[in-house]
Structures are given as structure tokens and as C-alpha cells.
A and B are shown apart, each in its own frame.
Chain A
Amino acid sequence: MNRSEELLKRLPNDIGGQPGAPIQRTEHQYLPWEKRCHALADILDMRKIVSTEEKRRGVESLGAEMIGKLTYYERWVAAFANILFQKGILTPGELAVKMEEVAARHSRGTAA
């Protein structure tokens, strides 16, 4: 099977049964923002705004290249933004403005 057929038949997350590297027993302490991201995911699920399945599809639709480059919660937050745009809950414009505002809080050099 050539590479393009592989990509068509298997979405990026569909890796069960594929060959893989040896297991590295990696662990890390969850960062505060990662935990907040997790809490946000759970709340969005509980409120029936974004289900676990939608979240997974949202991550897959980032595409294999981004999935490979982003960390676990980076993928989640990027997927949430896209899903919330699709649902008309947020717009890309308002997120961009808000992100600038959040970044500016920290670039002022004063801790909250």
C-alpha cells in the first residue's frame, strides 16, 4: 500500500496494531494550564457542548503534521477553538483579540 492510501484508510489517531517504538515509561507532572485545559474539556462535555468523541475528531482534523508537533493539551486546546468556531460559539476574530489581551497582561512585566 502506498503512503496516500495509508493516510486515507487510517486517520491519525487510528494506530492500534501498528508497529511502534519501545515503551518509554515517561511521566510528567501536569502543568497548571494543562489541568485547567482538562477541567475545561470535562465541563464542556458535561454541559454537552463538546463530547469526548467530538474532541477526538477535532484533534484528528488538525492533521498528522500538527498532531506530531503539538503536545497532548496543545492539541486539545487547538481542537476546542476549532470546534467552538464551527459551532458558532466563538469566532476566530474574538479569540485573536482575547489572546492579545491575555498576552499583554504578562508582557507588562508585573505578576498578577
Chain B
Amino acid sequence: MHPHDHTPVVAADEAPGYYEIMETAVRELLVAKQVIAAGEIRRHLEVLDSRTPQLGAKLVAKAWVDPEFKKRLLANGRTACEEVGISFYENTELTVLENTEKVHNLIVCTLCSCYPREVLGLPPDWYKLTPYRSRAVKEPRAVLAEFGTVIPDNVEIRVSDSTAMIRYLVLPRRPDGTEKMTEEQLAALVTRDAMIGVVPVEFQKGRVQ
């Protein structure tokens, strides 16, 4: 347990809105009826808080420096995660998609917001909003350009549409000039958006961050 406080289950000095009241009421009724336990929600909030893109970045950096791990990660994302101590709280598979010189991967959930939450945390708003969900599968190059990412025409773009059962994570290309970097240094370069596939991993030697 952490000694410091996370999101409290009972909170708010300001008057809550209608839907917040509904959330509290549904939760309290389910607890009162013993459908769920109050402690379950509290514990799961801590789990959610512990899931951030740093976990995904660790996987990527490890795959870059350890070819055997990379093979296992690409063969079965979930078991490779579990091997490094990342548990899955949802009953989902994880497919890791490798970017290469010839293929650039992009992930989306056209129907709603399925996302590799175990390794990236909760998704950004734009991932859940209509423009990204509708357009990514139809005109990925135009969508990527709006993120400032221009993919050459000779590189194939593969868009993977997530489902309730199968989640995707992009394994970005390791940038040139990073050959001498440690796994930890490499992990610090890997961003959430690179693992969604909307931007590459950037490295400029001597750049002041």
C-alpha cells in the first residue's frame, strides 16, 4: 500500500453534477446489495493510477535491447507482459505490432475506446472522439499528417481496429543514434503517442529536452 492518498472514493467539496450523483448512487446501491465490495473499487482505482505509458515504454526499450524478449513480445504480448510483472486485469489479449522500414502501424478503436490500458493507462480524449475513430481506418495518412507525421508512400500503413477481446500496442522503430543508450535511457524516449502509432520515437543527439 502507498502511504500517500490517491483519488478518494468519497470526495468533492463542490456540489456534484447529475451524472456524478448517479455514479455515486449506483455504486453505493451495488455495495449495499453486496454485488460489489467498496474496497474493490478503491483497490482498483490504485491499479488504474499505477498504469501509465511508462510501462509500455519499458516493454519497448526491453524489446529494442533484447531480441529474444522482442520475439516473445511479438508472439504473445500478454504473456511477455506478465513475464516482466505487468498483470492483466481485463480478460483481453495483447497483440504487439512492430514498425519496420516497410510497415507503419496505427491503432484505433472505431466502435468506442478499447485501448491497451494495462500498459498505457487510460486513453487520451482524442482517441475516443469521433474524428480519430472515423477517419483513422479510411485515410490514415491524412490523420497521421495532422499529428505532424508524414509516412513515405513506399511504407505500408496498417491500421488495427481494437476489440473488447484484442488490444494492440505499437512497437515503434528504434531511432538512429541511440546505439549506446541504456535500456532506461531508451525507455525515456518512448511516448504514449508513439505506442499508439501517431508519431515516431524522436531522438536528436545533444538536444536539450
Contacts and interface: CB of A to CB of B under 8 A. Distances in A.
A32 B11 contact: yes
A32 B135 CA distance: 31
Contact of B164 (A43, A51, A71): A51
A102 B10 CA distance: 11
A98 B44 contact: no
A38 B7 CA distance: 12
A36 B23 contact: yes
A37 B16 CA distance: 14
Contact of A27 (B13, B112, B125, B133): B125
Contacts of B137: 16-17
A4 interface: no
Contact of B111 (A13, A46, A90): A13
B129 interface: yes
Contacts of A31: 20
Given A38-B122, A40-B26, A52-B164, A24 B48 contact: no
Given A46-B89, A77-B23, A39 B41 contact: yes
Contacts of A103: 16, 21
A81 interface: yes
B45 to A, nearest CB: 5
- A: contact size bracket: 35 or more
Nearest to B32: A98
Contacts, number: 171
B84 to A, nearest CB: 22
A9 interface: no
Contacts of A28: 125
Given A52-B114, A77-B19, A21 B130 contact: yes
Given A90-B29, A95-B26, A36 B134 contact: no
Given A16-B137, A17-B134, A72 B128 contact: yes
Interface in A24-65: 24-28, 30-33, 35-40, 42-47, 49, 51-53, 56, 59
A44 B36 contact: yes
Given A19-B134, A36-B9, A103-B16, 13 more contacts: A13-B111, A16-B137, A17-B110, A20-B132, A33-B24, A42-B89, A47-B36, A52-B114, A56-B111, A89-B33, A95-B26, A99-B21, A106-B15
Interface of A: 13-28, 30-33, 35-40, 42-47, 49, 51-53, 56, 59, 70-74, 77-78, 80-81, 84, 89-90, 94-95, 98-99, 101-103, 106-107, 111-112
15 contacts: A16-B110, A16-B137, A20-B132, A20-B135, A23-B126, A23-B147, A33-B23, A35-B48, A40-B30, A43-B40, A52-B90, A52-B164, A70-B19, A95-B22, A106-B16
